[in-house]
Amino acid sequence: MTETEVPEDHPRYASLVTRHRIEAGVETGITSKQGLIAQGRGEAFDYLLGERTLPSADRAARAAAATLLAADRPVVSVNGNVAALAPAETVNLADAVDADLEVNLFNHTDERVRRIADHLREHGADEVKGLAGDGEIPGLEHARGVVDADGIEAADVVVVPLEDGDRAAALDAMGKTEIVIDLNPGSRSPQTADVPIIDNLIRAVPNIAAHARDLAGASPEELRAVVDAFDADEALGAAEAAIRGGSFATPDNS
């Protein structure tokens, strides 16, 4: 069964579609095999969240939008899972906040970077960074720290969805403001982030873009007020409480 063959009235429609997208990403060389494991781990946390965007996650998405709109050089980092799951939505977000897109991979190969960049262009991106590899994230060994000098290395705000904790810590050490999307509030990445969004990527990315469009006419002072009102610890705590109090009583968890 392919993504297009999944009946829309299936109670697990959204989950099955995302699984097919990750599977297709592996088959086309966009997503690493480890991405399959990461997807399954995230889905387990999403079950416990009730597969919904918590009010705290929505506030985080709004703070993320304000942070990006106020940034001088925002960059949205894209890995294989992001490219497979939400390519058009990620391009739309970058457009909404005037951010660069940059491919940045844990399991880095030049071929995967090219494939992901092409995939993003097929979904509307005009320019995709990550191919030059003329910059670095200090403290990360081998290709994990390779970035573009005029991209992530020069950015003041970086969206790092589904990234690894070491990279998040290294970006923090560089003084970057980080917006992290992750379903596990205990993971190192959201624990490090200035704006942790504990939500499913496929909900969070379009939600940030929607908030960005709502805030498009806001003054710098209004954007700052939105950011200042956000409490990262509260967002992490609310997500942890929801997960600890969650159950697997969602419809037909198959």
- Domain range summary for the chain, segments of one domain joined by +: 55-244
Average pLDDT over residues 164-179: 91
Q: What is the pLDDT of residue 254?
A: 45
CA distances from 63 to 100, 119, 129, 240 (A): 19, 29, 25, 19
Average pLDDT over residues 205-212: 98
Count Cα neighbours of 96 within 13 Å in the Cβ-side half-sphere. 25
pTM (2 decimals)? 0.87
Q: Does domain 55-244 have CATH number 1.20.1260.10?
A: no
Average pLDDT over residues 116-125: 95
Strand stretches in 194-249, DSSP E? 195-198
Cβ contact 14:53 at 8 Å: no
Q: Is the pLDDT of residue 169 over 80?
A: yes
Binding residue numbers? 19, 41, 182-184, 188-189, 200-201
Q: What is the pLDDT of residue 84?
A: 87
Q: Is the pLDDT of residue 137 over 80?
A: yes
Binding residue numbers for ATP? 19, 41, 182-184, 188-189, 200-201
More confident residue, 249 or 198: 198
Q: Is the pLDDT of residue 253 over 50?
A: no
Q: Which of these, 198, 201, 166, 170, lies nearest to 76 by C-alpha position?
A: 201
Average pLDDT over residues 62-67: 98
Q: What is the pLDDT of residue 99?
A: 98
Q: What is the pLDDT of residue 40?
A: 54
